[in-house]
């Protein structure tokens, strides 16, 4: 199949760039030094490829991702790096033989884990991003509480999400160090073997974490592309020009095929004016029928709009991978 046979908009990833990104990361963070975050691609076929590159443990953001990974035979070491108010479905995964570790940051989430039969947790510690995670000073109390409920506390996690996107590398390095000072202090009181943290923007700036949760590195987007990382832009949304005049043209990607929270996507050698539901207005104009590659600003919410990832080699579509971890 040729890429020109794809119905547009179509999610595409250049296979050689994807493999190069996986090789680069596996060289920097081999084996269990990386726990790839599947939320960035939501695709078990891509996760299988990451496993081939040596990473057997994975990070998930939703229970549905955990279930899909286990169903795909990738359940030997799954971390749900997120809190859940009801862990019932995770208990079922444990019963079915998956190795499940769950982030907890409160009495409620520990209770949910215990009642559901989840037997391994990490204490999620707030390291500066105002989101999930307990106050570092509360980590030891929560670990004790979990152990009293018969749960094994394997360590801590803390996501420096306020740091990973800073464009200045020195600022990122300083931010990671400050965040990890909080996390390692909490870890010294909690115990356990795991200190889980990090993302694509800080993967090589974090010697304190025992494992890094990066995900975006595989496919990439314009936001991470601005950081000068050694990962190429594998992902694009293939689009067709449907309207054109002397001043601008319009292609058929838009708000329903692109995550927009990081702003407009990019089209090489063109300027994006704005996006509508099924349109991007841009200049300079191109003739109707021209196919263009649109580069998303944010990979995760872009992938979540699509049902298929088309892996390409130039003009050829090599494989069509289901985006099979969507929904909740």
Residues near a copy of itself, by CB under 8 A? 7-10, 39, 61-62, 82-86, 105-106, 108-109, 126, 130-135, 161, 240-245, 247-248, 250, 252, 255-257, 259-261, 273, 275-279, 281, 287-289, 298, 300-301, 304-305, 307, 326-328
As given in the structure block, the two tokens for residue 250 are 């319009």
Whole-number Å distance between alpha carbons of 263 and 222: 10
Q: What are the start-end ranges of the H helices in 39-159?
A: 44-52, 63-71, 88-95, 107-116, 139-148
Contact 236, 229 (CB under 8 A): no
**Nearest residue (CB) to a copy of itself, 19 versus 162:** 162
In sequence order, what are the beta bridge partners of 133?
none
Task: For a copy of itself, give the closer residue by CB, 106 or 222.
Answer: 106
Least distance in Å: CB of 224 to a copy of itself? 14
Mode of pairing for the β-strands spanning 308-313 and 316-322? antiparallel
CB of residue 1 to a copy of itself, shortest distance in Å:
16
Q: Output the smallest distance, CB 328 to a copy of itself, in A.
A: 5
* DSSP strands (E only) in 186-328: 194-197, 211-212, 235-244, 249-251, 266-267, 271-276, 279-283, 291-295, 308-313, 316-322
CA distances from 60 to 214, 247, 276 (A): 11, 45, 31
Closest approach of Cβ 244 to a copy of itself, in Å? 7
Is the distance from CB of 164 to CB of 180 less than 8 angstroms? Answer: no
Shortest Å, Cβ 132 to a copy of itself = 4
CB of 270 to a copy of itself, least distance (A): 14
CB nearer to a copy of itself: give 26 or 249: 249
- For 250, counting Cβ atoms within 10 Å of its Cβ (0-12 exposed, 13-18 middle, 19+ buried), the class is buried
Nearest residue (CB) to a copy of itself, 26 versus 221: 221
Give 39 or 187: the residue with its C-beta nearer to a copy of itself: 39
């Amino acid at each position: 199949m040729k890429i020109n046979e794809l119905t547009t908009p179509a999610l595409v990833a250049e296979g050689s760039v994807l493999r190069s990104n996986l090789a680069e990361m596996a060289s920097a963070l081999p084996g269990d030094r990386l726990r790839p975050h599947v939320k960035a691609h939501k695709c078990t076929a891509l996760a299988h490829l990451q496993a081939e590159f040596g990473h057997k443990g994975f990070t998930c953001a939703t229970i549905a991702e955990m279930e899909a990974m286990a169903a795909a035979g990738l359940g030997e070491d799954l971390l749900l790096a997120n809190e859940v108010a009801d862990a019932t479905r995770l208990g079922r995964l444990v019963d079915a033989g998956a190795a499940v570790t769950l982030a907890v940051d409160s009495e409620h989430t520990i209770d949910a884990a215990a009642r559901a039969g989840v037997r391994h947790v990490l204490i999620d510690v707030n390291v500066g991003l105002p989101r999930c995670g307990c106050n570092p000073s509360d980590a030891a109390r929560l670990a004790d509480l979990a152990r009293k409920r018969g749960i094994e506390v394997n360590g801590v996690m803390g996501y420096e999400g306020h740091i990973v996107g800073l464009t200045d590398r020195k600022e990122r390095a300083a931010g990671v160090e400050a965040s990890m000072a909080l996390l390692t202090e909490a870890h010294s009181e909690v115990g356990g073997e795991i200190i889980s943290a990090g993302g694509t923007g800080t993967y090589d700036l974090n010697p304190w974490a025992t494992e890094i949760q990066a995900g975006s590195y595989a496919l990439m987007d314009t936001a991470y592309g601005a950081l000068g990382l050694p990962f190429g832009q594998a992902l694009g949304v293939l689009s067709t020009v449907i309207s054109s005049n002397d001043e601008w043209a319009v292609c058929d990607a838009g708000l329903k095929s692109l995550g927009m929270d990081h702003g407009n996507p990019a089209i090489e050698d063109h300027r994006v004016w704005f996006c509508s539901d099924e349109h991007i207005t841009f200049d300079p104009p191109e003739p109707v029928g021209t196919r263009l590659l649109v580069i998303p600003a944010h990979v995760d919410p872009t992938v979540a709009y699509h049902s298929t990832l088309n892996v390409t080699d130039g003009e050829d579509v090599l494989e069509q991978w289901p985006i099979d971890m969507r929904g909740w």
